[in-house]
Amino acid sequence: MSDTIELLDAIGRDASLYRASPQELGKKLEQADASEGLKAAVASGDISRLFAELGQKPMYAPQISQTAHEEEEPAPAEDEADLPVPDPGQSSLKL
């Protein structure tokens, strides 16, 4: 399996392999003695064979959001609700 991962890494790093047709890439993989799963995935375009070789299962996104949310201001307590709200334009000090 580590050979398969190394070959996938090499394909990703080499633009000529990354952009190669399935036939060209198949020839290169045959020369590199790649695994049957990798060669079958390249030939058919079906990555499920590669998943089977690597023992991977498709992963799904979690149902919760990973983004940050702005926190809402807590509602004022009942005893604070009747207090007058100061006007920010006026100074509370009277000279």
- Residue 87, pLDDT > 70, answer no
Residue scoring higher pLDDT (82 or 93): 82
pLDDT, one tens digit per residue, over 59-74 is 777 666 666 666 666 6
- Pair 53, 1: CB distance under 8 Å: yes
Type of residue numbered 56: Q
- The model's pTM: 0.50
- Pair 43, 22: CB distance under 8 Å: yes
Residue 31, classed as helix, strand or coil, is helix
